[in-house]
Amino acid sequence: MAGLTGQHWLQPDWDPGLTIAHLSLAHFTALGLKAAVLDVDRTLLPGRDVTLPDPVRVWLVDAGRRMKLHLFSNNPSKTRIAAVADQLGVSFTCGAGKPRRGALRRVVADLDCPPAEIAMVGDRLFTDVLCGNRLGLYTVLVRPVQADGRPSRHDRVQRLERSVARWMGASPA
Ligand SMILES: [Mg+2]
C-alpha cells in the first residue's frame, strides 16, 4: 500500500513523538512549508473544552506568523470548531470526512500553494496522515495533547493505529 512516491500511505513524513506545542517551527521553515492544515480534537486541545492550552496557543500564534493556518476537523460541530478557530482568527472546516479527499482538495485550492508546501498535522494515522499523504502534503503525526500541552497518557487509539499500520507494512515508530 504505497503512494506514488513509494512512501507507505500510513507513514508520516515526520513523527517526532511530540505534541504540537513542542514542534520546531524552524523545521517547517527550513522545508519551505507555506501553510499548515491542522486537526483539532486531541491535536490542539483535549476533551470537550474549547479553550486552547496556553503552550498550544503560543505555538499557533508563532506558526501563524510564518504560515497560513487552516483548522480541519472531522468533528461535525460547527459551533465547537468555529469557537476554536475564532480564538486564532483562522479559517476552518468541520465535518471534513478525513481520510476522504474532497474537503482537503478544496482547502488546498484555497490555500493556493502546491501540496508539497502544505503541512498536515494531526494525531491520527488513519484519518489525518492518510488523508494528507493521499494528496501529497507533508504529513506530521503528533502525540495527543493534554491540558498543559504535554502528551496525554490516554493515547490507546494512536498506539493501536501504529500497530495496525506496522502490520500493514508502514514503519512509524
Ligand atoms: Mg484528532
Residue with cell 470537550: 48
Give the pLDDT confidence of 152-162 residue by residue, as tens digits.
998 999 999 99
Q: Distance, CA 161 to ligand 1 centroid (Å)?
A: 13
Give the pLDDT confidence of 65-87 residue by residue, as tens digits.
999 999 999 999 999 999 999 99
34 assigned to some structural domain: yes
SS3 162: helix
- Kindly tell me if the per-residue pLDDT of 51 is higher than 70: yes
13 assigned to some structural domain: no
Q: Alpha-carbon distance 99 to 130, whole Å?
A: 6
Query: pTM for this structure?
Result: 0.95
CATH of the domain at 103: 3.40.50.1000
Give the pLDDT confidence of 9-41 residue by residue, as tens digits.
999 999 999 999 999 999 999 999 999 999 999
Residue 173 pLDDT level (bands cut at 50, 70, 90): low
Q: Distance, CA 10 to ligand 1 centroid (Å)?
A: 15
Q: Give the distance, in angstroms, between the CA of residue 4 and the centroid of all CA atoms in the same chain.
A: 21
